[in-house]
Amino acid sequence: MRPVRARSLWGTFSRRGLRVLRSQGGFTLIELLVVIIVLGLLVGLVGPRLFGRVGQSKTATAKAQIELLGAGLDQYRLDVGSYPDRSGGLDAVMRNTNNAPNWNGPYLKKPVPKDPWGNPYKYNCCPGVHGDYDLWSEGADAAPGGDGENADVTSWGSTEK
């Protein structure tokens, strides 16, 4: 009879475990680092271009909202005979704030929105400086003038007030 040789469970397990791990296809540390570096370069090159588009899309949204608000103001004028004065403001297209006799609103499907930067639109009327009424947003900085995303978005077509 052969003597039974004591084997350590750890030694057997570790040898088998290493064989199993070596036979499985995993990623090496170098491969993972290369992937992380490539992703970092992509974010660094593409990211600023995408974030630059966010400001442009907010400006385009403000222009579209001003056009829709202007259409509501024009419909109000057709029914009532004049644009709402400054006291009624833009709320007059949603509620008959001035008790106008021929008011047939609301003239917008949804409440008057804030501009894309979270500020209320500015309204000047009867007459405005640039037309029958002036409707504008002061951009991201909420101050007159500015460049880029900080530029004013207006109903009279210019980018400055």
User: Does residue 113 surpass a pLDDT of 80?
Assistant: yes
* pTM of this prediction exceeds 0.75: no
Residue at 111 is within a domain:
yes
Four-residue CA torsion sign, 50, 52, 58, 60: negative
Better-predicted residue by pLDDT, 45 or 133: 133
Average pLDDT over residues 37-55: 78
- Which pLDDT band, with edges at 50, 70 and 90, does 11 fall under? low
User: Does residue 159 surpass a pLDDT of 50?
Assistant: no
Residue at 1 is within a domain:
no
Residue at 41 is within a domain:
no
Better-predicted residue by pLDDT, 53 or 84: 84
CATH value at residue 102: 3.30.700.10
Residue at 37 is within a domain:
no
Instruction: Report d(CA 140, CA 119) in Å as an integer.
Output: 9
Phi, psi of 157 (to 5 degrees): 95, -25
Average pLDDT over residues 4-14: 54
Number of domains in the chain: 1
Residue at 97 is within a domain:
yes
- Which pLDDT band, with edges at 50, 70 and 90, does 160 fall under? very low
Sequence-ordered list of residues with C-beta below 8 angstroms from that of 131, at least 6 positions apart, any chain: 155, 156
Average pLDDT over residues 57-84: 90
Sequence-ordered list of residues with C-beta below 8 angstroms from that of 25, at least 6 positions apart, any chain: none
Residue at 34 is within a domain:
no
Q: What is the mean pLDDT of the chain?
A: 80
Residue at 143 is within a domain:
yes
Query: What three-state secondary structure class fits 100?
Result: coil
Which domain range does residue 107 map to? 57-161
